[in-house]
Structure 1
Amino acid sequence: MAAVTINDTIVSGNHTFEPLDKETSDAESPSQLSRVESPVGRVLPSPPDGGRDAWLTVLGSTIVSFCAFGCINAFGQFADFYSKGYLDNYAITLITMIGAVQVFILYLMGGFIGALFDAIGPRYLIPASGITISFSLFMLSITKPQQIWQQYLTQSVLYSIGAALGFYPAVSVIPHWFRKRAAFAMGFVYAGSGVSGIILPIMLNRLFPILGFGWTVRIVAFMVLGLYAIASLLIKSPRPRKPMPNLLTLLDFAAFLDLRFTLFAIGAWFNIVAVFNPYFYIGAYSTVVNPDSRVTPYLLAIMCGCSIPGRIVPGLIADKFGRFNTVAVASTISSIFILSLWYLSTSEASLIAFACLYGILSGPFFAVMPACVAQITPIERIGGRIGILLTFLSTGALLGSPVGGVFIRTESVENFQHLVLFTGVISLVGSFFFIVARFVCDKRLLVAV
């Protein structure tokens, strides 16, 4: 849909944020949305921006986000366990590649699953996701030590396929229910992944020594199965199903003909190369600068915990002051913190401060990014556009952590600082493209975009 049109002028301090002109986008206005016709000739309803079914869908989508990103957010804990015994015959780069391939396949599936959702809705995709993720975790629980190919098969490939089957419908269904409050609602959905980043790392850290690898992972699998049963009952779409298109028409490559989308996608690609490095490496960095720190096992949980308000609150800000504005500003500030605070962190206090601030400032990238795409996309193509964006980002997700690992083949403060510089500079390049995309949407400075 079009860049957000704000009927009333927004005043902040001494600055006035003017409404975005309707001419800045070719997507539907609210009045047009109420009369958009489906391929089978029925008039599609305008998103209601609330109601019982809408908020129950948000709850169900949040549960799916918790489950789909659970083991991805907790991969730092898995990597620590693998490197200290379970897979200690393998280089750290090969171990971190398990997590990188996870994200790569999850994003790679986006174009297909997102467009498939546009055709058939969430009814069958959500249960299929829960079954596939649970099965992959049960298979992971019976893998053998020093057989890394089994981790790649179950944790990297099978788990990610299952996560994609649920995550894209869970995100793409939100604009079917919300328009003006879409970023806020999506913030709640993405906050689910942040909650999993708190619970699962601590849960794994406590249960691995007590129950062992197999039963710890099986407990997670049973938990996922139960949560998905609830989510499958809650998530609904108010829009009718469309006839199933052929495979080639599922992938919405026409999105890249829109300069706004293309520039935003390039910025997101650079950002995704960098954004997971603090999540994957902050624990290892803390071990090098403070070997006896008791805080190290909890830094990832702290970062994920702070990302929860970082995904919800920016949704409110984005819906009022502009989604592109929010992503561009948050990305720029987080890049500065990487290059300054993380680079100079040598104490527990400074690492905790960085974990908190980066968790907050990395949140808008994940939570508001789909709302930015929805803002410049006709509503009947939102799933495909979000999906094709994340498919485009898959190569960046695959490159980021392994390339970062090249800098720390020998773990030292100096080598980690090289990793930090790489991460910060790449993130800053992404921020530049976000800013350019924002000004392509509207050249005026004080306008909500």
Structure 2
Amino acid sequence: MATVSRYFNKNKGLTVGIIIGGSSLGGVIWPIVLNELLNTHGVSFGWTIRAVGFIMVPLLILAIVTVVAPPETEHHSERAIVQEIEEKRPKQDLSIAKDPTFIILCAGLAISVLGMYSPMFYITTYARSLGHPIDISFYLVSVINGSSLFGRILPGFLADRYGHFNLCALAGLASGITSLCWTAAKNIPGLVVWCLVYGFTSGAILSLQASCAGSLATRETQGTAMGFLMGALALTSLFGTPISGKLVGSYGYLSLSIFAGVSLVVGSILIFWARLRLNRNIFAKQ
């Protein structure tokens, strides 16, 4: 994502959304593959995971060999950039980590992620707890990811026109409200509609987080900004799922719905606070 951000100065939200949208496509395919191998054809768990690995390796190799540095220009070559950094800055530029706006943004996104993945992990077991068939319950994950594909691309396109922070905060708030309504969905049509809405709104957060962080960083600190952001998100996403499991086991799915919803709403407030630090005009493109 940091490499893509260095290629584009305009339409950055759309381009990052398209890149991240690939993971949504995988999120549609993998649940179906796993369900077919494990439940339909009776393949062992070990060989199912090996099959996944055999599919992923060539795709990852393709991604690795096609990632190249941005093309050099006459007045702004890569070598000139490196030389400028060495002359004017310390060898390790960590200035972005001292930016209060960037810190608030990272905190908001990290808190959002704390509960954002909970519905994605537990929508299948929730549907099973209501007595729905395992095949339909399993495919709800694909519904979320299929909707997330559009949620990652369309909001990125709109964000380039109305502001990345504006759309990211709005997506977080919408995801939080949707999550709080999770347990109101009981039948299959209701669950499908809920998955479509939640997949779209949560996908927008995943798409816009990189462009928001990138807009605060210079060309030279894009990688550092993404590293700090992803590190913060990794910590809270690591803790979020075990917390979710404990809540479901002890208090049921309503508590999980509240946990995810409150996390997303609080996170969206912090994201909007970071946006106000950039421009206090609520209607400004930011």
Instruction: Report the TM-score when normalising by structure 1.
Output: 0.58
Are residue 424 (structure 1) and residue 266 (structure 2) matched? no
1:240-259 map, 5 Å: 240=78, 242=82, 252=94, 254-259=95-100
The secondary structure found in structure 2 opposite 1:379 is coil
Q: Is 1:329 equivalent to 2:170 in the alignment? A: yes
C-alpha contact (below 8 Å) 2:96/2:224 kept by paired residues: no
The structure carrying a bigger helix percent of its residues is 2
Task: Compare 384-393 and 319-328 and name the one that shifted more.
Answer: 384-393
Q: Which runs of 5+ in 2 are unaligned?
A: 73-77
CA separation of 1:391 and 1:213: change in aligned 2, threshold 3 A: same
Aligned equivalents of 2:124, 2:68: Cα separation in 1 = 39
Other-structure match for 2:203: 363
Partner of 1:201: 31
Which one of 127, 133, 140 corresponds to residue 299 of structure 1?
A: 140
> Contact 1:197/1:305 (CA < 8 Å) preserved in 2?
yes
* Among 92, 107, 127, the residue aligned to 1:266: 107
Matches within 5 A, 1:14-413: 171-209=1-39, 210=41, 211-238=43-70, 240=78, 242=82, 252=94, 254-292=95-133, 294-340=135-181, 342-409=182-249
Detail structure 1 runs of 4+ shifted over 4 Å in the superposition. 248-251
Aligned partners of 1:286, 1:249: CA distance in 2, in Å? 53
Q: So what's the TM-score if we normalise by structure 2?
A: 0.89
* Structure 1 equivalent of residue 75 of structure 2: none
Q: How many angstroms apart in 2 are the aligned matches of 1:205 and 1:294? A: 8
Letter of the structure 2 residue corresponding to residue 174 of structure 1? V
CA contact (8 A) 1:290 1:346 kept: no
Structure scoring higher RCO (CA < 8 A, sep ≥ 6) equals: 2
How far apart are residue 250 of structure 1 and its match? Answer: 5.3
Q: What letter corresponds to residue 295 of structure 1 in structure 2?
A: I
Partner Cα separation in structure 1 for residue 93 and residue 186 of structure 2 = 46
Cα offset, 1:389, TM superposition: 1.5
Determine helix, strand or coil for the equivalent of 2:248.
coil
3-state SS, counterpart of residue 330 of structure 1? helix
CA distance in 1, matches of 2:243, 2:147: 26
Shift of 1:276: 0.5
TM superposition shift of 1:294: 4.5
Q: Deviations over 1:161-206 (max 9, x none)?
A: xxxxxxxxxx110122111111111101111110110111100110
1:425 Cα shift?
1.0
SS at match of 2:249: coil
Distance (Å, rounded) in 1 between the aligned partners of 2:127 and 2:253: 10
1:393–1:294: structure 2 CA closer, same or farther, 3 Å change rule? closer
Distance of 1:268 and 1:326 partners within structure 2: 13
**CA root-mean-square deviation:** 2.1
Task: State the alpha-carbon separation in 1 of the partners of residues 126 and 5 from structure 2.
Answer: 39
Deviations 1:299-329 (A, max 9, x none): 0010011100100111100111100001011
Q: Secondary structure at the match of 1:407?
A: helix
Radius of gyration: which is bigger?
1
1:251 deviates by 7.9
Residue 173 of structure 1 aligns to a residue whose secondary structure is helix
Distance 1:408 1:175 in 2: 39
Identity %: 28
Residue 293 of structure 1 contacts residue 348 of structure 1 at CA under 8 Å; is this kept in 2?
no
Query: Conserved in 2, the CA contact under 8 Å of 1:290 and 1:347?
Result: no
Answer yes or no: is the 8 Å Cα contact 1:290–1:348 preserved in 2. Answer: no
Structure 2 counterpart of 1:319, one-letter code? D
**Deviations for 1:399-427, whole angstroms, at most 9, x for unmatched residues?**
111111111226xxx61111111111111
Alignment length (residue pairs): 272
Does the CA contact (< 8 Å) of 2:14 and 2:156 recur in 1? Answer: yes
Name the structure 2 match of 1:439: 276
- Decide whether the 8 Å contact of 2:174 with 2:201 is kept in 1: yes
Shift of 1:293: 6.1
